[in-house]
Structure 1
Amino acid sequence: MLDETLKSQLKAYLQKVTQPFEIVASLDDGDKSKELHGLLRDIVGLTDKITLKTDGDAPRKPSFAINRPGEQTGVVFAGIPMGHEFTSLVLALLQVGGHPPKTSDEVIEQIKGLEGELNFETYFSLSCQNCPDVVQALNLMAILNPNVHHVAIDGALFKDEVEAREVMSVPSIYLNGEPFDQGRMSLEQILAKVDTGAAKREAAKLNDKAPFDTLMIGGGPAGAAAAVYAARKGIRTGVAAERFGGQVLDTMGIENLISVPHTEGPKLAAALEEHVKEYEVDIMNLQRAVKLVPSPQPGGEHEVQFASGASLKAKTLVLATGARWREMGVPGEAEYRNKGVAYCPHCDGPLFKGKRVAVIGGGNSGVEAAIDLAGLVAEVTLIEFMDELRADDVLQKKLASLPNVEVIKGARTTEVNGDGKRVTGLTYEERASGELKTLDLEGIFVQIGLVPNTEWLQESPIELSERGEIIVDARGMTSIPGIFAAGDVTTVPYKQIVIALGEGSRAALGAFDYLIRS
């Protein structure tokens, strides 16, 4: 099952196991059970700390639990955790085996303090880069707290469950049999939702913090780069982010970050956070900015208020709240989000295997999505508003070579159709003739660009462009002295990771220059 290179790497990891444990597999006569059995035999053959039992009687087959002797840790994988989930498997093996997690003592104590039975189930796909964060977080909670149990389920392998529960987006999380949440969630986000007093406690802590010299609002590439540059100047630096990593977390393959031939969004986000943590930077996660209160006089302290009830002050700010996927804004889109309307083809594509889908948008993102989906689904219809596709020529040529892809140009989507439970199609208008037409579909993937996250600034005096982007000068400063901005949220053209990194660095240098001259 595992090649020799992977075996060698895994063997090195398993040397960190300090206490014995067992894997209990529940198998049947199917090919997937045989495949899982082969994987588990490979694993136990690499260390004498793990034993394998095949007498499990779990209802899902193939599946396996990872237990300490005489104890059920509550960690179960239903399926074969390869692809993006192989890392989740390795971490579960290490943590059940006694290797300490890279989590703060405060968070560990919060997990151990959770009360009541918490039975989680997570549906994932092996191609989903958003799923491992959820799987790993819930596995850790199960390992640390006997009241918590978690089953990670490969949706492509248990299609009957997916259909019965109408799962059309991954990761989809259930708690005690009821829907809990969908999409990427960090450990802190999950804890904040199950531990209802956590947000208030964190807000109180933030309110007591002394003012920062420079405070970054946003933790994507721009905010992370700004934090590194500011901290290196020796000034009091903080980062307040709704989620560290920002939109990069939702990005699959990254092949244009100079000097890094290939990486993936979650890996880059983790590397950014690790770099920032090398300096004395106060990172405050799960903080969504809702109001900016600029200093009434030059050189004073600016205030940012957050949805949690927290408030932070700083002499200078770097606004790096980024952008998000643009929505179509048509009837039915919101109603059928995660019920057939999706925004991440890499994550949710496997759930539409053998079905008919549409991709909205003919830029690079849309064409790449159509190419990826064509290998999974029965038919792809790409709909582009303009009369020509805007994607790179190499992508258009690849798209044209695929037999199960149809391209409709000069068309405007007007409505998402459904039966009350899921998407059944869409209606579009031919722009040239005004004629309305309908497509029968099971899924719609929206890929029509970005919208800046500046709603919270609409009532502030900061000058915004017609598109809602923050207007900045050559040093990254906004229309308010001492407040800077960087990244996809600004008017700087070309929304690219490498540009955001540079703009964040520039804004931090601009903020430092402002501080020493004020």
Structure 2
Amino acid sequence: MLDENLKTQLKAYLERLTRPVRMVASLDDGDGSREMQALLQDIEALSPLISLEVRRDDAERKPSFALTSPGQDIHLRFAGLPMGHEFTSLVLALLQVGGYPPKVTAEAIEQAKGLQGQFLFETYFSQSCQNCPDVVQALNLLAVLNPNVRHVAIDGALFQEEVEAREVMSVPTVFLNGQPFAAGRMGLEEILARLDTGAEKREAEKIAAKAPFDVLVVGGGPAGAAAAIYAARKGIRTGVAAERFGGQVLDTMAIENFISVPHTEGPKLAAALEQHVRDYDVDVMNLQRAETLVPAGADGLVEVKLANGASLKSRAVILATGARWRQMGVPGEEEYRNRGVAYCPHCDGPLFKGKRVAVIGGGNSGVEAAIDLAGIVAHVTLIEFDARLRADEVLQRKLRSLGNVTIITSAQTTEVLGDGRKVTGLVYKDRVGGDSHRLELEGVFVQIGLLPNTEWLKGTIELSPRGEIVVDERGQTSLPGVFAAGDCTTVPYKQIVIAMGEGAKASLAAFDHLIRTSAPASASAVAEAV
């Protein structure tokens, strides 16, 4: 099942086990069970601390396997093969069940251990989903740390009947004690915040007690991370308030244009960004959404008010709030979000196997999505507003070579249709003839560009007609002491490498601002002392 190179790597990881790991497989006579047994036998052969037991007459999902350790009350199970993006989840689960300490804060560990009640989590994933591992790994860790937590990670492509019965139309989708709990990427901190109702209040109190920063970065994407690192290297008090560290990069499948790195994946790059920031003396405040920006007053401090009621003050602020997927803004889109309306073809595509879908958008992202989906679904209809596709010619040629793709240009989607539970079709208007047409389908994948996360700044700072923060060549905004960088600004070409450079530039400009504005205050202090 595993090639020799992967076995060698896994064997090296498994040398970190400090206690036995018991794999209990629930199998039948299907192909999936045979593949699972082969995988588990390969793993068993790599460490004397790992044992395998096969059961065929129990009531568990088949094929599935549990990981536990003698003397430990651990309830963790994979239903389906944890390959693709989930192979890392399997490796981490083996290590953590085997006693290897997790790379999370001591505070998070204590919070996880302190959860009271009974929690049965079921997470539906797809092997091609880059968002799923964060959720699977967080809930697996909860199951290792707290005996009251049970977690089953389920491959939705293998358990199609469950997916249909539970109307799972996006991954990751999580059920708690049989009821819908969450959909989309979530890390351990976010899950704990939802389970521990007093966590937000405690965090707000901690934040409110913080002393002012020299530089406060709002946002944790590539621009924010670069800004924080460049500020911290100057030896000044630096903080980062991020709604989701990693930002939009977390939702990026493959990155092949980051100079000197031929290929990487978004979540891997996001983790490296966060680790690099934490290597410095930076106060990272995750899961914090900024709501109000207050210009500097007599004290010379800019204030950022957060959604949890707390606020932060700083001598200089760098806004790096990034952007998000743009929505169509038509009737039915929000109603059927995660019920047929999707924004990530890599994550949710496998759930539409054999079905009819539409892709909205003829740029690179839309055409790439249509190409990928064509290998999974029965038929793809690509709908483009303009008279021609805007994607690179090489992508267009590939798309037009596929037999199960229809391309419609000069078309405006006007409504997403559904039966109250899921998508059943869409309506589009021919922009040339003016006629309306209805398409019968089960999924709509929206790929129409980005929208800057700047709504909270309206009326406070100068924004462009597109909602982008207006900046000069130094990253300075219309407010003294407030700088901005990355996809939320008017800087053209929204690329990771550009965002990082702009973040560094804004940070250097903020430091220069601090030097220049602090000089009079210092001179005054010396005069008073004399």
Aligned positions of 1:112-261 closer than 5 A: 112-261=113-262
Q: Deviation string for 1:176-217 (max 9, x for gaps)?
A: 000000000011000000001001101100000000000000
Partner of 1:392: 392
Report the 3-state secondary structure (helix = DSSP H, G, I; strand = E; otherwise coil) of the residue aligned with 2:101.
coil
Offset of residue 296 of structure 1 = 2.6
Offset of residue 278 of structure 1 = 1.1
Partner of 2:503: 504
Partner of 1:95: 96
Counterpart CA distance in 2 for 1:51 and 1:326 is: 49
Offset of residue 70 of structure 1 = 4.8
Partner of 2:513: 514
Counterpart CA distance in 2 for 1:315 and 1:326 is: 33
Offset of residue 325 of structure 1 = 0.3
Structure 1: 5+ residue runs without aligned partners?
none
Partner of 1:377: 377
Counterpart CA distance in 2 for 1:313 and 1:90 is: 42
Offset of residue 319 of structure 1 = 0.2
Q: Which amino acid aligns with 2:504?
A: S
Partner of 2:75: 74
TM-score, normalised to structure 1, is 0.99
Q: Which amino acid aligns with 2:224?
A: G
Q: Deviation string for 1:301-353 (max 9, x for gaps)?
A: 01101111221000000000000000000000000000000000000000001
Counterpart CA distance in 2 for 1:394 and 1:358 is: 21
Counterpart CA distance in 1 for 2:378 and 2:250 is: 28
Offset of residue 145 of structure 1 = 0.3
Partner of 1:483: 482
Offset of residue 277 of structure 1 = 1.0
Counterpart CA distance in 1 for 2:23 and 2:71 is: 12
Count of aligned pairs between the two proteins: 516
TM-score, normalised to structure 2, is 0.97
Offset of residue 86 of structure 1 = 0.3
Identity of aligned residues (%): 72
Q: Deviation string for 1:227-255 (max 9, x for gaps)?
A: 01001111100100001000000000011
Aligned positions of 1:384-423 closer than 5 A: 384-423=384-423
Partner of 1:494: 493
Aligned: 1:22 with 2:13:
no
Counterpart CA distance in 2 for 1:495 and 1:196 is: 37
Offset of residue 426 of structure 1 = 0.3
Counterpart CA distance in 2 for 1:315 and 1:58 is: 61
Counterpart CA distance in 2 for 1:459 and 1:135 is: 41
Offset of residue 58 of structure 1 = 4.0
Counterpart CA distance in 2 for 1:247 and 1:396 is: 25
Partner of 1:45: 45
Counterpart CA distance in 2 for 1:184 and 1:73 is: 24
Q: Deviation string for 1:70-122 (max 9, x for gaps)?
A: 54411100001000000000000000000000011111000000000011000
Partner of 2:62: 61
Offset of residue 459 of structure 1 = 3.2
Report the 3-state secondary structure (helix = DSSP H, G, I; strand = E; otherwise coil) of the residue aligned with 2:287.
coil
RMSD: 0.8
Over 3 Å counting, the alpha-carbon distance change for 1:456 and 1:45 in structure 2 is same
Partner of 1:110: 111
Counterpart CA distance in 1 for 2:380 and 2:507 is: 44
Q: Which amino acid aligns with 1:498?
A: V
Counterpart CA distance in 2 for 1:422 and 1:459 is: 38
Aligned: 1:443 with 2:407:
no
Report the 3-state secondary structure (helix = DSSP H, G, I; strand = E; otherwise coil) of the residue aligned with 1:489.
coil
Offset of residue 55 of structure 1 = 2.0
Q: Deviation string for 1:137-196 (max 9, x for gaps)?
A: 000000000000100000000000000000000000000000000000011000000001
Report the 3-state secondary structure (helix = DSSP H, G, I; strand = E; otherwise coil) of the residue aligned with 1:65.
strand
Q: Which amino acid aligns with 2:131?
A: N
Partner of 1:323: 323
Counterpart CA distance in 2 for 1:428 and 1:99 is: 54
Offset of residue 449 of structure 1 = 0.3
Counterpart CA distance in 2 for 1:358 and 1:365 is: 14
Counterpart CA distance in 1 for 2:369 and 2:295 is: 42
Q: Which amino acid aligns with 1:83?
A: G
Q: Which amino acid aligns with 1:477?
A: Q
Partner of 1:367: 367
Counterpart CA distance in 1 for 2:14 and 2:310 is: 42
Aligned: 1:269 with 2:259:
no
Counterpart CA distance in 2 for 1:59 and 1:101 is: 28
Q: Deviation string for 1:31-84 (max 9, x for gaps)?
A: 100000000000000010011000262421000000111544111000010000
Report the 3-state secondary structure (helix = DSSP H, G, I; strand = E; otherwise coil) of the residue aligned with 1:516.
helix
